[in-house]
Amino acid sequence: MIELGAPVLGEPEKRALAEVVDSGWLAMGERVRSFEQAFARMHGVEDAVAVSSATAALQVVLATFGIGPGDEVLVPSLSFVATANVVVAAGATPVFVDIEAPERPHMSIEEARARITSSTRAILIMHYAGYTMDVPAWRRLADEYGLFLFEDAAHAAGATGAVGVYSDAAAFSFFANKNLTTGEGGMVLVRGDAPRARMRLMRAHGMTTGTLDRVHGRTTAYDVVECGTNCRMDELRGALGLVQLQRLPEWNECRRGLSTRYRELLAEMLPEVLVPFDRPDPTVAHLFPVLLPPGADRRSVVAAMTGSRVQTSVHYAPIHRFDFYRRRFGALSLPRTERFADGELTLPLHPRLTEADVSRVVATLAEALGRTTGRPSREVAS
Ligand SMILES: *Cc1c(COP(=O)(O)O)cnc(C)c1O
């Protein structure tokens, strides 16, 4: 089976975990702190705050910047549901924005501008498939209207230079299927000492001291200065993150190379399949999404590919069409998002994939399309 995604885990991860166990200290400590500093350094920013997931990261971001009831937050509908769920959970209202075009399925900046009202407080952008959005342009839009700019950077770990640099905060995911994984885990890059300090409080019950301080006898008393939550990262995850971070640039380079190979083969063999984004677009190549030709029956294509032992997925079912969102906010129409989501297919992409695997995936897709649309299948030279 050619898997859709697969983490790279081996001896260094085992050793790192064993060291934590031997140390006798599992709760958030020195390793998590080192991971925060190394992650910030890689992304060219001052510091970072480690948390238990990207969802928790977005929740502490909204809490830190005081987003709540009465506030509107612009979000893409073409995203994982957490992007909107966190806004609803904060008591605010997500305002869904359509994508630019099938060639560029990022949230449209023109459409976002058109949806700004006197209640809008923030824009939450998402770097779909790891392709970096034009963050400086979004910063200018946010500044023009006095809004916060947040990034759902769950697909963008290792995207240096833009992600986490211009926004008020960027949230990363280290879930099992992301470019860097700690099983569950997340990180926030946040500008400014004061918001970062507030976020550290929000992550740990609003308490003024940590467990490590109390155990080391540095202090016994603490105050609670915020109504925080508990979404700390632990040392096992911190240790895994430190090991994985060292290899992240190499893995992202490998993902980019495989994506380029996919583009070459698809242009040659299946020009009717649209590959979003331009090759020179900056990316950490988290996913390889394609748009099937009009009239292709995706269910049959998926079934045929699964039958040929190639795993695929769909990113994403649009959030605004989920039952909860339809009930809560009524039926909305986002035609470009809907059209893209209905024809999108995500092909396997991970650092353990080979160029021969890529050829097999494309050959399998060609065969599946030929079979399901009645056209003769094409051979793929590999
Ligand atoms: C994975 C993902 C999340 C959620 O990340 P968790 O760490 O699992 O909470 C949020 N947004 C997007 C776009 C994602 O892909």
- Binned average pLDDT, 10 residues per bin, the chain of 382 residues: 96 98 97 98 97 98 98 98 98 98 98 98 98 98 98 97 96 98 98 95 92 76 93 98 98 98 97 94 96 96 98 98 96 97 98 98 97 53 44
Complete DSSP assignment for 330-357: -----HHHHHHHHHEEEEP--TT--HHH
| pLDDT in the model for residue 298 | 98
Distance CA 148, CA 343 (A): 33
Contact 83, 214 (CB under 8 A): no
Active-site residue set? 178
Pocket of ligand 1 (CB under 6 A): 53-55, 79-80, 82-83, 126, 152, 154-155, 173, 175, 186
pLDDT for the residue numbered 279: 84
The Å distance, Cα 70 to ligand 1 centre, comes to 25
The per-residue pLDDT for 211 is 72
Q: How far is the CA of 245 from the CAs of 9, 145, 186, 353, in angstroms?
A: 12, 36, 13, 19
Q: Average pLDDT, whole number, for the chain?
A: 95
CA of 302 relative to ligand 1 center, distance in Å: 24
- Which ligand 1 atom is the nearest neighbour of the CA of 83? 11
Ligand 1 closest atom vs CA 128: 13
The predicted pLDDT at position 315 comes to 98
- The confidence score (pLDDT) of residue 381 equals 45
The DSSP secondary-structure symbol of 302 reads: H
Residue 210: per-residue pLDDT: 79
How far is ligand 1, taken at its centre, from the CA of residue 253, in Å? 22
- What is the model's pLDDT at position 373? 56
Which atom, in ligand 1's list, is nearest to the CA of 82? Answer: 10
Residue 213 is predicted with a pLDDT of 78
Q: Is-cis flag, bond preceding 166, omega within 30? A: no
Angle between helices 54-64 and 193-203 (to 10 degrees): 120
What's the sign of the alpha-carbon dihedral 185, 191, 197, 198? negative
* Burial grade of 237 (CB within 10 A; 0-12, 13-18, 19 or more): buried
**Two tokens at 363?**
């050959």
Element (H, E) at 49: strand 48-51
Under 8 Å CB-to-CB from 175, ≥6 apart: which residues? 53, 54, 154, 181, 183, 184, 185
Bridge-based pairing of strands 120-126 and 72-76 is parallel
- What's the pTM? 0.95
Task: Retrieve residue 107's tokens.
Answer: 């949230």
Q: How far is ligand 1, taken at its centre, from the CA of residue 232, in Å?
A: 16
* Helix orientation angle between 54-64 and 82-89, rounded to the nearest 10 degrees: 40
Bridge partners, residue 283, by sequence: 131
- pLDDT of 11-64, one tens digit each? 999 999 999 999 999 999 999 999 999 999 999 999 999 999 999 999 999 999
